[in-house]
Structure 1
Amino acid sequence: MEQKATNLATIGRISAVPAMLKVISDMTGLRFAAVARVTDDTWTACAVLDPLNFGLGVGGELDLTTTEEHGTVFTFSLPTA
């Protein structure tokens, strides 16, 4: 639990993160962007931009062992102009 708090605090101190999430959201067209701490079992949101109203806030966790995509590799490519 201490490592999680340290990660949240570290990301929270980086003033550029909100702007970076906005750029990522604008470039991809996604309405949810986050910086996450990922372990084998959990995905913890360290910074969030959520115009989608997905509802996962800073410090919120997803249990990866119960998600439908557990063990699936996701890759994202930027659209070409």
Structure 2
Amino acid sequence: MFTPAVLRQNAKNFMKGPTARKAWALSRHGRALQPRGRRDRMHVALFNAAFEEVGGPDQYPECELEPGSAL
């Protein structure tokens, strides 16, 4: 069983690679709009937090959307 702490560490480890950060930057807005269960929403939130912690939005500003433009 994965605890939130283990999932958080997995997300941080995933975001260490530049390819992973770019892939998350390109797909995170679409993922936020998809209907998901509680556990899936938690995974997306943890990956978003790890992405922002490593400075992802600053590294890939061209992938960031204005609020509401993803709709």
Q: Same fold (TM over 0.5)?
A: no
Structure showing greater relative contact order (alpha-carbon pairs closer than 8 Å, 6 or more residues apart) = 2
TM-score range, shorter chain: 0.3 to 0.5
Report which of the two has the higher share of strand: 1
Higher share in helix: 2
